[in-house]
Amino acid sequence: MRNIRVRIVELSPALRKAAKASDVILATNHETADVLNRLGAKDVRLWLDSGIPSEFLSERRISKANTDVLTLLWVGRMLSRKALPLALEALAQVPDVDVKLLVAGDGEMRSEWEAYARRLNLESKIEFLGAVPWSEMPSLYSRADTLLFTSLRDSFGMQVLEAMGHSLPILTLDHQGVATFVPSQAAIKIPVTTPREVVAGIAAGILWLARNPEAHQKLGDAGRAFAKTQTWQRHAERMAKLYEEALSAPAT
């Protein structure tokens, strides 16, 4: 249904006119860029609209050599499109892995998802933390080994960038903004196909992370290097240059 809606939007004369009249259009993922190109836009550029404060970058380095428990962190509002059950079902598929999932967030699906975790017998492997103030998130990132991002519909995820700023590897679905911007060397990306295959892919990613603790450092360093390029100060500098470029372009 969402795909149909996107196709209908492309039929809008006003949108097509705006796309053709714009000197530069910024898109937050490849899918949106493709739509704009089909509408006749002259110059479409990929642009990450999320950023982090410079002081949010941590000097912490990941080291799991002496720890057996793999601690995963899931952060987000508990809405259907955030798809936490994909993570729960994946955990249920790796019963022999010593793993802990911290869930930070609140919302309309919380009670239902907590009940689902109980039905999957995951009480010993999962901790629902509720809403966590942003000021306390750095300490929460420092408790985790990997950020697990399961959202089915998001331009990007601020928590993904924050986690990379704290040198955490990312285990994510491979679509939309995270597919476009998160470096492949900083993440394990699961193709979005069928629910069964996605759950199996997440489970395989969890198993790989548990069996390859020495790889956490490399993944985390690549993520932090990317996060350093996405501070609000760097975004402001790039945006200022973009305005200068657009204003200096000859009128068409």
Report the predicted TM-score, pTM, of the whole model to 2 decimal places.
0.89
pLDDT of 65 reads 42
- Selected from 3.20.10.10, 1.10.10.10, 3.40.50.2000, 3.30.1490.100, the CATH number assigned to the domain covering 54-225 reads 3.40.50.2000
- Look up residue 125 and give its two tokens: 């492997």
Q: How far apart are CA 121 and CA 113, in angstroms?
A: 12
Alpha helical stretches, state H, the chain: 2-9, 13-21, 30-38, 84-92, 110-119, 137-143, 158-165, 176-181, 195-211, 216-228, 232-248
Q: Domain ranges in the chain?
A: 2-51+232-248, 54-225
- Summarised one tens digit per residue, pLDDT across range 225-243 is 999 999 999 999 999 999 9
pLDDT of 176 reads 87
- Summarised one tens digit per residue, pLDDT across range 205-226 is 999 999 999 999 999 999 999 9
Helix (H, G, I), strand (E, B) or coil at 96: coil
Q: How far apart are CA 160 and CA 1, in angstroms?
A: 27
